[in-house]
Chains A and B, each alone.
Chain A
């Protein structure tokens, strides 16, 4: 168990937010009782309920220590990759290659984090998996749409496994004067990304008029994007005490994280649109699939990880 008081404040703050969200949802449910708003209210209730479950699972993993957090993100990668590969038009000849993808590439990437082998962690997927996957497919011998099939699978590996694995890798960063406290850094990152998503949704619902990328994501507006982005940066600023940053660093890094989170969100939307689907799955009621929930995490994680590593660990060329 971790009795770091700052971590307790973060947990209590999350609990407070969830309670607040639940109260607001109840109020909205009473106010908008007419059938016209039924589907919006139902979706909101489902979303908030799912947030409770996600927060409990995440908090339990963080409290149980580094190993549990790595396993949780490994599972998330596995389930996200499952949703991604389902929409890739693979052929029967790819069956064995897919088996390697799920049961070798995913576990190995997370075991490398567990062993703190930074050099291999950053290379394993973009070098070794990216070469081995098409090689295995060539051995299977089916050339029809070969480039499309292999490239889409590489995309899936990159987004669902490589990028997401940078979240638990934060635990292994060797930050001076912050030893044993990395869980708070991870918590800070996830809170900023997810609250950026949520506040974009709220700003968009409240003030959204002008569409940002109408051909990609018709529900995204400038008002939602800018409001959510700034809110996320202010939340980052407000949580600086839990991080190794000073307040301004926390503000600017949250700004960067929010920007990449938005990019992840719309890029994944483009992939869904290309495949003619609204969501990647139905795993999380109200949200869609796992990949729909973590799309912003995907793009923000490598950015945040490398910013931390470069600016905080610069003086120590130790592993990670």
Chain B
């Protein structure tokens, strides 16, 4: 109930029009990956997916950013139960965020991630970091659902505190999986173009 209200509020603020070509991902966990331009991004994805999936969907966010300050900590931990990962002091064996994410997936949760790792200022999609590929490699059966968000950079751009109430669009595409002989560059390129193909309006 509380979450339904919050989702309705997020949809009202972002004026989001959902173009859900809702993929057949079954009941199991999946990873939603999207272009990143605004703090509203993960909330909009979370608010736009069906309620039963929403209850099992957690955003992945940067620990050092979302643990700074009471307000951010409250939003990240209490409201959206975000999976906070370290961006510094990370190695394959020590403190590996992939292990942390595998853990959450194994519990049956879906994840929202932003492979660019940072918010773009102008709405263009930046280079994808390799984490997406490593996740796919560790979980070959996991569906990766591309999500294209538009206009949210105008509603709440990086560096602004107050949103301006424009209309946004979310388009959810059909899921990808890592092909057996696909290398890192190919997979990341394919993932990025999957989002670009969903774009409705020119930049």
Task: List A residues at the B interface (Cβ < 8 Å).
Answer: 78, 82-83, 85-86, 90, 92, 95, 98-99, 102, 281-282
Separation of A170 and B150 alpha carbons in the complex (Å): 39
A99 to B156, CA, bound (A): 11
Known: A90-B154, A95-B160, A99-B162. 18 other contacts (CB 8 A): A82-B167, A83-B167, A85-B164, A86-B15, A86-B151, A86-B166, A86-B167, A92-B121, A92-B122, A92-B153, A92-B154, A92-B157, A95-B154, A95-B157, A99-B164, A102-B164, A102-B165, A281-B17
What A residues does B162 contact at CB under 8 A? 99
Q: Which residues of B contact A83 (CB under 8 A)?
A: 167
Are A82's CB and B165's CB within 8 A?
Answer: yes
CB neighbours (8 Å) of B17 from chain A are: 281-282
User: Please, how many residues of chain B have a CB less than 8 angstroms from a CB on the other chain?
Assistant: 14
Those 7 A-B pairs whose CB atoms lie nearest each other, nearest first: A98-B164, A86-B167, A86-B166, A82-B165, A92-B157, A95-B160, A99-B164
Kindly identify, within residues 84 to 128 of chain B, every residue whose CB is under 8 Å from any CB belonging to chain A. Answer: 121-122
Instruction: Provide the residues of chain A in CB contact with B167, threshold 8 Å.
Output: 82-83, 86, 281
- Residues from chain A with a CB closer than 8 A to the CB of B166 are 82, 85-86, 98
Contacting residues of chain B (159-177) with chain A, CB-CB under 8 angstroms: 160, 162, 164-167
CB distance from A165 to the nearest CB of B (A): 18
* Residues of B contacting A78 in the complex (Cβ-Cβ under 8 angstroms): 165
Chain A residues near B122 (CB-CB < 8 A): 92
The residue in chain A whose Cβ has the minimal distance to the Cβ of B154 is: A90
Question: What residues of chain A lie closer than 8 Å to B154, measured between beta carbons?
Answer: 90, 92, 95
Cα–Cα, bound, A85→B15 (Å):
12
Give residues of chain B (22-47) contacting chain A, Cβ–Cβ below 8 Å.
none
Is there an interface contact between A82 and B160, defined as CB atoms closer than 8 Å? no
Alpha-carbon distance A90/B151, docked complex (angstroms) = 11
Q: Nearest chain A CB to B201's CB is how many angstroms away?
A: 9
* Residues of the A chain whose Cβ atoms lie less than 8 Å from the Cβ of B121: 92
